[in-house]
Amino acid sequence: MIAVFRRELAAYFATPVASVFIVVFLVASGALTFTVGGFFARGQADLLPFFSFIPWLFMFLVPALTMRLWAEERRLGTIELLLTLPLAQWQAVLGKFLAAWAFCAIALALTFPLWLTVNYLGDPDNGVILAGYAGCLLLAGAYLALGAAISVTTRNQVIAFVVAVAACFVFSAAGSPVVTEFLSARLPVLAEVARALSVSDRLAGFTRGVLVARDIIFFASFIGFWLFVNMILLDLRKAD
Amino acid sequence: MTALIEIEHLTKRFGTFTAVEDVSFSVARGEVVGFLGPNGAGKSTTMRMLAGFMTPTAGTARICGHDVVEEPVAAKRCLGFLPEGAPTYPEMTVQGFLSFCARVRGFRGAELTERVARAMSLTRLQGVRLQPIETLSKGFKRRVGLAQALLHDPPVLVLDEPTDGLDPNQKHEVRELIRRMAPEKAIVISTHILEEVEAVCTRAIIIAHGRIVVDATPRALLGDAPSLDHVFRRLTMPSPAAEAAPTAQEAA
């Protein structure tokens, strides 16, 4: 599993994927934070504007990472090689997921200038900021697990990307007022379900510095569930 | 002689299409089996099931006594497999790729370096070891795949078209390599090249429409026909194949 992890992580940096992803992520997150987010105008030393854009950025950027995870292996035929090495399937699934997750962690860590800036300008609560980063990392993990499970079903990277963006959108938008109000007016039962499954709702707690066991368990089981689905789908469709 | 590969009633269906039907054979140490058949006959499907990539619809196979369905990881440890088309990760260097495979196979440190170096020298890849695989010619890529299958010096080798895309000299080298390894291994190679069967194989299995039609030594297969090409055509062409099969098996 560690061998798969190392190979995958190295593969990001061996191709332009890493630099393109990181540059786009840093530029977009920075630009949104300072312009739309009103980083200076708010007059508060915190990273809330930054964290509020992360779910939307990840919605597009994380599927860009996951689209190649399995679809690429299928297209190149290397899936046959990978799955005939003496590895259990869960090791291949987990190795790939952890590599992509570590890559997201690196991208997030590279936003440290924002953190330096708020600390220079004011006196923020660094505990809240750390909780926010932890929440973002968990969100990235949730989207990655979801995207990886989608990638395993196709050999076409574009399809993997579009479907993953749509799926991430469903789980982000499920807790938004538009959806919940619509549902509670018509199908009150579903409104509760939608709220409970919303990843952006869960993230909000973290960015306010509130670490609740329930939210952590939610992300852990969300990731676990989709990795499990990934494994099942891989087993069913590995040779297609 | 102990059978290192045992295949029992292996069957694979895709929907209503039966790709492999009730295939059984075993391969002992020291044997080199040439697995022949027209395109689409079920060669690759059989090999993929043997390698644990496809799950059989019915029947099973054992490698060194390990069932490929029940104990896939143990079976894969004893197996060196070259998939059809020798897929590799294009952005990796030859050495990086082989080190990855060696690491997955549990080699570390000095032993890993030594295994990779040995596999590269067997397949004559030292000259390109630091080149990304995507920059290599077809013949080199094929040899990278072959090196990957030989890394751990497995008792069982399953090679799907090992000489496809090689020039005549490289073909000769690969055949020499197979011949050298043959005494202590059980080897199955699939091929379209009938001369290859005469050159390296101790046994030929011809498969058509998912069924074994012949299992014989190349000499017995040839009989008094002018060439293996004739035998192959007679056995695998649609209508005469049905009648030819039983007689040929008796001849074996």
- Per-residue three-class SS string for B145-188: HHHHHHCCCCCEEEEECCCCCCCHHHHHHHHHHHHHHHHHCEEE
- The pLDDT value recorded for residue B1 is 53
Per residue in B71-86, pLDDT (tens digit) is 999 999 999 999 998 9
- Is B88 in CB contact (< 8 Å) with chain A? yes
Q: Which residue has the tokens 């050159």?
A: B199
Q: Distance between CA B37 and CA B33 in Å, rounded? A: 13
Q: Could you tell me if B128 and B43 lie in one domain?
A: no
Take residue B14 and report the two structure tokens written for it: 């895709």
As for the ipTM of the complex, it is 0.85
The whole-number mean pLDDT for each consecutive block of 10 residues of chain A, a chain of 240 residues, reads 89 86 91 82 80 88 91 90 92 94 94 90 88 93 95 90 92 79 78 79 84 89 95 84
Cβ B236 vs Cβ B226: under 8 Å: no
> Does residue B177 sit within a domain?
no
Q: Which residue has the higher pLDDT, B236 or B132?
A: B132
B92 and B49 housed in the same domain: no
Q: Are residues B91 and B73 in the same domain?
A: no
Answer yes or no: do B48 and B99 share one domain: no
Model confidence at B251, pLDDT cuts 50, 70, 90, reads very low
B interface test, pick of A81, A82, A87 with most B CB neighbours within 10 Å: A81
pLDDT band at B193 (very low <50, low <70, confident <90, very high): confident
For residues B6 and B52, membership in a common domain is answered with yes
Q: Which residues are registered as beta bridge partners of B204?
A: B34, B216
pLDDT of residue B247: 45
Mutant choice from A80, A87, A94 vs B, greatest count of B C-beta within 10 A = A80
What pLDDT is stored for residue B250 in this prediction?
Answer: 44
Confidence of residue B134 (pLDDT cuts 50, 70, 90): very high
More confident site: A20 or B242: A20
Q: Are residues B161 and B244 in the same domain?
A: yes
Is some CB atom of chain A closer than 8 A to the CB atom of B25? no
The reply to whether B32 and B3 lie within a common domain is yes
Domain that holds residue B116: 85-153
A84 lies within 8 A of chain B by CB? yes
Is pLDDT of B246 > 50? no
Would the CB atoms of A84 and B89 count as touching at under 8 Å? no
Question: How confident is residue B41, by pLDDT bands cut at 50, 70 and 90?
Answer: confident
Dump the DSSP string for B36-66.
E--TTSSHHHHHHHHTTSS--SEEEEEETTE
**CATH number where B15 lies:** 3.40.50.300
Mutate to test the interface with A, among B49, B57, B88, B89 (most CBs of A within 10 A): B89
Query: B194 falls in which pLDDT band (50, 70, 90)?
Result: confident
> Do B167 and B240 lie in a common domain?
yes
Structure tokens, A153 = 């079903």
Distance to chain B for A72, nearest Cα, Å: 10
* Domain boundaries, position A174: 2-237
Residue-level pLDDT at B249: 44
Averaged pLDDT of chain B? 87
Partner-chain residue, chosen from A11, A15, A77, that has the shortest CB–CB distance to B87: A77
In terms of CA atoms, which chain A residue is nearest residue B12?
Answer: A239
Last residue of a domain, one of B98, B123, B153: B153
Whole-structure pTM value: 0.88
Pairing of strands B156-160, B32-36: unpaired
Could you give the number of structural domains in chain B? 2
Q: A80 in contact with B at a CB cutoff of 8 Å?
A: yes
CA distance to partner chain A, nearest, from residue B221 (Å): 32
- Express as a percent the part of chain B with pLDDT over 70: 94
Chain B residue with minimal CA distance to A17? B91
Are B143 and B251 found together in one domain? Answer: no
Percent of chain B, pLDDT > 90?
56
The closest CB to that of B104, out of A14, A78, A85, belongs to: A85
pLDDT at B200 over 80: yes
How confident is the model at residue B238, as a pLDDT? 65
> Within this chain, do residues B45 and B102 fall inside the same structural domain, yes or no?
no
C-alpha pair distances (Å), A208 with each of A213, A216, B46: 15, 14, 57
Residue A95 CB burial class (10 angstroms; 0-12, 13-18, ≥19): buried
Distance (Å, rounded) from C-alpha B91 to C-alpha B89? 6
Least confident stretch, B55-69, B101-115, B159-173: B159-173
In a domain, B185, yes or no: no
**Confidence category of residue B235, pLDDT binned at 50, 70, 90:** confident
Is B50 a domain residue? yes
Give the nearest chain B residue to A236 (CA atoms): B55
Give CA separation, A207 vs A52, A134, B80, in Å.
8, 9, 51
Model pLDDT, residue B252: 40
pLDDT for B100-109, tens place per residue? 999 999 999 9
Same domain, B60 and B93: no
Asked if pLDDT for residue B38 goes beyond 70, the answer is yes
Please judge whether A78 and B89 are an interchain contact, meaning their C-beta atoms are less than 8 angstroms apart. Answer: yes
Our count of domains for chain A comes to 1
Q: To the nearest whole angstrom, how far is the Cα of A142 from the nearest Cα of chain B? A: 27
